[in-house]
Structures are given as structure tokens and as C-alpha cells.
Structure 1
Amino acid sequence: MPKAQANGIEIHYEEHGDPNAPPMLLIMGFGAQLTLWPDELVEALAAHGFRVIRYDNRDIGLSHKFDGVKAPGLVKLTLLSKIGLTPKVPYTLADMADDGAGLLDALGIAKAHIVGASMGGMIAQHFAARHADKCLSLTSIFSTTGNPKLPPAKPEAMKALVTRPKSTEEKVLVDHGVMLARTIGSPGYPAEEERLRERTAASVRRSFYPEGPTRHLSAIVADGDRRPMLKGISVPTLVLHGEDDPLVPCEGGRDTAASIPGAKLKTIPGWGHDLPLELVDELAATIAEHAKESAA
């Protein structure tokens, strides 16, 4: 897999599609490798005429790991945030946005369409605010604003997300990954069992690094309310969200669209916090249409 020096660290990435086509950078979410972007969605976006680049965020997959760097615990993070104090964390979502910008620089790309999912949507929001000169358009997928008044995740979804597997045995890790996918996934589009297990096993074999998500979570909690920042975003923005998302309720997507001037919002019934095969064509077409309109 190709790798690049970006923002002072090593980032692993993949490219698909015509190298001369308009670039589209995909940013994945909390504790997730680039492989969580389904190949079918990547290929569909490339077929719509884009040079699609997906990469492992810092501290996950094959990218740089911040071994030994301690992050505050979730209880401390939450308490500090509730009393208005910004906790000291190993790195921020803004730092992670700079990783994406640095990757574009390393690849010689001046501007790209930026697409982020979940935490990746938060990072993409920072990208659009910090690097508007590099951003042709923004698509924020099942993400949110950090508004403390929004509905929280369902308890079972948050528990599944932050609970660690009971051992590092491959079967245990795969069972755990399948449980998480089922808990936060789309009730209207349940994943086929064999494919889900195969994808989860492939992810485990590619990389298992449980320390990274701890630091990812600290970056999310420390980021606070992004609405003041979002009001300054001027790039064309599309917000996509599932109406049945148990992890980031749909109100988060609506708040994101309401906070970014001129943003478009599309919600889909039955869609949860995953990227089901049944929605690949619709999502790819919607993202591609937005990107092409933005570049017109």
C-alpha cells in the first residue's frame, strides 16, 4: 500500500479511478480503518468520474501510531467538558484535518472534494474551515456538530462502541466487531452475515490496535461545540444522515446542515451508522452530483 509523509507523520492511503480525474478524499471515522469504506462505494464514486483517495487516520490501520501517549479517561473528559474546560489531549480533530491536507500536498493535489463519515465528518468539517483553499466541496455523512443539547447515542450503541473485546484471539475480535456492526448498523438494511464476518476478519488481520480509539475519543470529546466554526464554512456542503442511526441520531445531521450556510440535507429512512450495500448506488450518485454541481 502507498504511504506518504503528511503533517509530520506517515499516512497510508489507497487510490482508485482515473488519476487525472477530480480528486475526492474520503475520511473515515472513530477507530475505523480505510477499509470501512466499502470497495463497492469507492468503485462507484470512481465510476462517476473521480480520483478517489481513502486513507488510514493517524493512530489506526497502517498509519502512524502514537504509542505510549496517554489520553484522559472518558469520565474525566466528560466532566471537564461539562464545566467548560478543554481537556489536554494527545491531538485534536484539527490536527487530524491537517493530516488530510498534508496528504493532498504530498500527492501534489491542490484541491479536492472532501467526504467524511462519523468522526471523519467532524474532521472534514475542520478541513473545510481550516483549508477552504484546498476544498472543492464538503460532504458530511452521519456526523454532528458537538452541540451538547442534541440527543445522545442510544446507550446500547455507545456501550458497544467503547467496550473492548475480552481477548485478542481472532475469533473473539471478529465476534466483537460483528456485534458492534449489528448494534449500530442499519435496521432497514441488515448486513449479510457471511460478508460481514469476512470484512470484519479482514480488518482484524490488517491491523488491530485498541489504543488508537482511546485517543480518537479524547479528540472528539475535547472538540466541543463546532457550531461557531461551522457558521464560517463557505464551501458547498452536503449532509447525509440515516433516520435510524442509533449512534449519532439524525438530529446531529440536521443540526450540521442548519449550522453551515447553504448546506443541503438528505436523510434516508432505515439507514443507521454504516454504509450498506443496498445504499451504495444512491449514496455514490448523491455525493457525485453534489461534487459536480460544486465544481460547475
Structure 2
Amino acid sequence: MSIENSEPVPADSAEDRFVDLPGGIRICYRVDGPADGIPLLLIAGLALDLTSWPQRMVQGFTDRGFRVIRLDNRDAGRSTRMAAPPPGRLRQLLARPRADAYDLTDMAADTHGLLDHLGIDRVHLVGMSMGGMIAQTLAARHPDRAATLTSIFSTTGDRRVGQPAPSTLIRMARPAARTAEESVQRHLSLLAHIGSKAHPPDEHLERTWARAVWDRRGGPRSGAEVARQIGAIQASGDRTAQVRRITAPTLVVHGDADPMVHPSGGRATARAIPGARHVLIPGMRHHLAPGVLDHLVDLTSGLARKERATRAKRESRKS
């Protein structure tokens, strides 16, 4: 496995922390909330860094007593950028990953390593899009570590469900931006496509966030990072059988008109996980818009609260 060296932490990144995992992967992460809070892990989606979780959402969880952990996945943000060749466009279109591609199991192992580093035995898992796939993988492979699972606009890897609209694929195929302003405009343009009129984005916040992401990662990316993450999803194939092994109380959330991950992906996820609750939010698309954040926090917090009550009742019966 070939790995590029990570850069040193700049003086203005005091919130960023790092852990070096076996195998040479360096993961950047942040922790918010009380030290004795209930551990909750947020896993971001394709090409997104840990700041993609809106601060209002993070604050909503910490206000409810959670200790919130966020991480940059490999090939995103300030975590290790892999040096292996990315899959070409044709491979991506044909879903034929390279033989040396890492997969979602590797990305879940990074997350598992972070939990070990932090001394967290059980955690409430929340993942969006590709992050939902990573969270599903972690919950399936390490059921003892998953207190609950919230999978947001994600899917199972079955190519018959959850596929992006052709119009989305065209936008994703554009070359990487070369300047900060171009990157900001690309983000706003994509958001206009995958965002929702029913739950509109805050353009000022989105513009500010996109510029901060550019500065945080130190300028342009080559596009190889996103291609390798796409390769990881494709290398993992149809995970339905694996997803069926999830035993954690699960909430599957999706919008009803998602052009990035078709709502059929959410339905398939909920069908595969025993006892999963499927919540379809009218008007939500593929974006954590201000209008849905409080609802998402309430849903996940309610799931965690119910799990704690069930576990406490079970333990009291044992005693």
C-alpha cells in the first residue's frame, strides 16, 4: 500500500487532532462536547471532510449530552492521501475497480482504529451517503461496537437501487477546480442540483464553508482522491448480505427526491436490516439543509435514548 505523507498541522488548526494507525494511515479528527458525554461518531460522505457536518447539527448533539467525534476519511480533508493510482473514468463508468483499490472495509477499519485510540467501546454511528456505507460496514463487522446506527441518504451497494441520476454523474465528471473561487462556484452549482427548494441551503454559509474547505486542505486536489473513494465503493460491491448482519437498532433516513442516491437505496437498506426504521423526509434531497438538521438530531437522539432505556432495562433484569 502506497501512502503520501501528511502535512504538519498549521497554527490555525488547533481543533484538528491526528492518530497514526497501523499500516501507516493518519486520520484527522475532532471531538466536541463533554468528555464524559455519550460517544457519537459522524462519518462524512464522498469527497467531504469532517467540517461537512453543519455546526448547528454538532451543537444539537452536544447540547443533548453527546460527545461528538468527526473524522476525515482517508483521501479527504487532512487525513492521509493515498498514492495508489486512481481508477480511470471508464473504470468508474463500468464499475470495474482496480485490483489494488482499497474498499469500504478498509475505511471502516480506519474508523475502528480511531475508536480504539479514543478508548471508546460502544458508539452511536451516524453516516451520510458514503459515510453511511462505512457506518453500515462497521456495524456489521463489529456489532459489539455499534450502540445504534443512523444511515442518512445511503445505500447497500446493490446496483439495482440507489443509483445517481445521469445529470448528477455529468456534474461529478467535471475536472477538479484549480482556484478557490472556482471551487466555491462548483460547490454552489452542485448544491443547486442536489439541494432542495423545500429545504433550501443558506448560500452565505455554503460559500463560507466551501472557501474554508479549500483553505483547510491547502488548495486544489487532483481529483484522484475522489476517484479512489468511488473505487472503494465499487470495490465493495453489493453489501446486502453484510448489511443483513447488522444487529444495532437502526434508523434509515432518506429524502423523497434524492438525485445523488436514489431513494430506492434507503428503502433497500431498511429492508435489509432487521427491525430498521425507515424515515422518508418530504422535500429533502442530498444535502444537510438548515431546515432538516433539528429533525435529524431529534431522530438520532431518540434512537439513542430508546437504546439506552432498553439496555438499562435488560441489565436490571439480570441483576
TM-score range, shorter chain: over 0.9
Instruction: Say whether the 8 Å CA contact 1:239–1:263 is kept in structure 2.
Output: yes
Instruction: Say whether the 8 Å CA contact 1:5–1:106 is kept in structure 2.
Output: no
**Which residue in the other structure is 1:46 paired with?**
62
Partners of 2:243 and 2:197 in 1: how far apart? Answer: 30
Partners of 2:160 and 2:197 in 1: how far apart? Answer: 25
- Alignment deviations for residues 31-55 of structure 1 (CA, whole Å, 9 cap, x no partner): 1111110011011011111100001
Q: Which moved more, 1:71-80 or 1:96-105?
A: 71-80
Relative to 1, partners in 2 of residues 1:225 and 1:48: Cα closer, same or farther, differing over 3 Å? Answer: same
**Which residue in the other structure is 2:132 paired with?**
121
- Given candidates 257, 263, 282, the residue that maps to 2:295 is 282
**Which residue in the other structure is 1:264 paired with?**
277
2:87 partner SS? coil
Partners of 1:198 and 1:292 in 2: how far apart? Answer: 34
Relative to 1, partners in 2 of residues 1:145 and 1:78: Cα closer, same or farther, differing over 3 Å? Answer: same
TM-score (norm 1): 0.93
Q: Amino acid of the residue matched to residue 139 of structure 1?
A: T
Partners of 2:195 and 2:168 in 1: how far apart? Answer: 9
- Given candidates 238, 258, 263, the residue that maps to 1:250 is 263
**Which residue in the other structure is 1:29 paired with?**
45
- Alignment deviations for residues 154-187 of structure 1 (CA, whole Å, 9 cap, x no partner): 112222223224x512111111111112211123
Give the alignment of 1:151-166 within 5 angstroms: 152-165=163-176
2:245 partner SS? coil
Relative to 1, partners in 2 of residues 1:7 and 1:45: Cα closer, same or farther, differing over 3 Å? Answer: farther
Q: How far off is 1:140 after superposition?
A: 0.5
**Which residue in the other structure is 2:148 paired with?**
137
Q: Amino acid of the residue matched to residue 6 of structure 1?
A: L
Give the alignment of 1:1-296 within 5 angstroms: 1-8=16-23, 9-67=25-83, 69-79=84-94, 81=96, 87-150=98-161, 152-165=163-176, 167-207=177-217, 208-209=220-221, 210-296=223-309
Percentage of identical aligned residues: 39
Q: Which runs of 5+ in 2 are unaligned?
A: 1-15, 310-319
Partners of 1:31 and 1:273 in 2: how far apart? Answer: 14
Q: Which runs of 5+ in 1 are unaligned?
A: none
1:46 partner SS? helix
Partners of 2:87 and 2:288 in 1: how far apart? Answer: 31
Q: How many residues align structurally?
A: 290
Partners of 2:80 and 2:162 in 1: how far apart? Answer: 34
